[in-house]
Amino acid sequence: MSKAIHFLGSIGPAAALLIALAGAQSGAQAQTPAAPAAPAAPAGLEPETPFTHKLPPLSTRWGFIRGGWESGGTHIFDGDSGKMVGTVQTTRWSDMALDPAGKAIYVAETIWSRINRGTRQDYVAVYDPTTMALLAEITLPGRLIIGAMKNNFVISDDGKTGFVYNFSPAASVNVVDLEKRKLARVVELPGCASLVPVAGVGFSALCSDGTLATVALAGKAPVITHSQPFFKAAEDPIFDSHVHDRGKGEVLLLTYTGQLRTARLGATPTIGEAWSLQAAAGLRPGDTRPLDINWLPGGRQLMALHRKSGTAYVLMHRGEYWTQKQGGEEIWVVDVAARTVKKRVPLKHEPTNIEVTQDDKPLIFLSGDGRNAWVMDATSFEQKHEIENAGGGLVTVLESR
């Protein structure tokens, strides 16, 4: 050590500094590992090519299951295989509808520029059913900010017009031209909701005064008429998830106590007589008495109709009046024309949503708050699939043409 110090001192400070810097650089170069050589490309490896997967035409065997209240997206499942085939972009505050011919998927939604604040935007998004690509956005003046309501957004039988329920500040309906992709008009409809299209006329809606409103759209101004009152909304309301039979031009209506009736739609609708589901099953009719336990309908989307056979499927549970949100303990299979309950099918779970495919060998889709879904044969009632994390929300199927 002393020899090294003596040597540096004898050559002067400037020369010593140069020698020290050179040594440091040499050490740094010695400690730096050499860059690894680039690996040779495997023989025959082709570069990746981006692509968009295309779905086949929408199938009547598919079930579109909403993600539920807190989960976004609507997942499409093949009822035969139980496999997911695609996803539609739907948010919590949206309503989805299918073109009756399967030519488009429509989503009515509301968003804000700052997620939960800022500039509000209301519109109908139009999606390609094979690529799920966004085709257009149709601006709306407003809509009711609540999603997952079956009859807030409905499509006319010919697929040309959409009806979007709104509440700003009173009830109204946005009539949307789906061919020209623009708003056609806004119809004020105070006190009414739960829409259903009426072929050749316009649309109808249930009203709080117990009537069915019908809106004719042929003229320059809409013409609104009301039926005679046929139910008491404050005593025995009608579920908003009524079922529409496009082929017959009818709507099936069910009350909280289990009173079922059929209304034939038209410029002047005909309201059918109500009859008790419980009495059709050999039980006493449901009523509104407190603490009275009976079999009652319940759920969010609690009734489905197989149009061709005229068979209704209703989720039923044991409870007292005002338990209308409770899931089903059984499916009651109803012959609507004969007014009879043909079969009662016990369920292992308590789903809140039910839908049936519209083909000759129908399937039942069930979902609920547990996020799982089930696919069942609508004739043998054998469970075909249990789909984990399917979504748990409303179920939509394509109507057969």
> What pLDDT is stored for residue 50 in this prediction?
77
Residue type, 367: S
Is 220's pLDDT higher than 50? Answer: yes
Predicted confidence band of residue 43 (pLDDT cuts 50, 70, 90): low
> What pLDDT is stored for residue 281 in this prediction?
98
Determine the Cα–Cα distance for residues 107 and 172; give it in Å rounded to an integer: 18
Q: Quickly count: other Cβ atoms within 10 Å of residue 18's Cβ.
A: 10
Question: Look-up: residue for tokens 């935007």?
Answer: 121
Please compute the mean of the pLDDT values over residues 134-149 and round it to a whole number.
Answer: 89
pTM score, whole prediction: 0.86
Task: Kindly provide the b/e burial profile for residues 149-184, where b requires at least 16 CB atoms within 10 angstroms of the residue's own CB.
Answer: bbbbbbbbbebebbbbbbeeeebbbbbbebeeeebe
Q: What is the pLDDT of residues 183-203, one digit of tens each?
A: 999 999 999 999 999 999 999
Check: CB of residue 365 under 8 Å from CB of residue 354: yes
DSSP, res 385? E
> What pLDDT is stored for residue 200 in this prediction?
96
DSSP, res 249? T
- The domain locations on the chain are 89-229
Q: How far is residue 111 from each of residues 114, 123, 155, 164, 167, measured CA to CA in Å?
A: 9, 9, 22, 16, 16
Check: CB of residue 330 under 8 Å from CB of residue 319: no
Helices (H) and strands (E) in the chain, counts: 3, 30
Quote the Cα angle for 108-114-115, to 5°. Answer: 50
Give every CB contact of residue 382 below 8 A, 6+ residues apart in sequence: 376
State both tokens at 182.
């623009």
Predicted confidence band of residue 392 (pLDDT cuts 50, 70, 90): confident
Q: How far is residue 84 from each of residues 35, 63, 340, measured CA to CA in Å?
A: 46, 9, 36
Predicted confidence band of residue 14 (pLDDT cuts 50, 70, 90): very low
Predicted confidence band of residue 221 (pLDDT cuts 50, 70, 90): very high
Task: Judge residue 195's burial from the number of C-beta atoms within 10 Å of its C-beta, 0-12 exposed, 13-18 middle, 19 or more buried.
Answer: buried
Please compute the mean of the pLDDT values over residues 73-90 and round it to a whole number.
Answer: 95
* Strand residue runs (E) in 310-362: 311-319, 330-335, 340-346, 353-356
Helix (H/G/I), strand (E/B), else coil: 149: coil
Predicted confidence band of residue 36 (pLDDT cuts 50, 70, 90): low
| 89-229: in CATH 3.40.50.300 | no
Please compute the mean of the pLDDT values over residues 238-258 and round it to a whole number.
Answer: 97
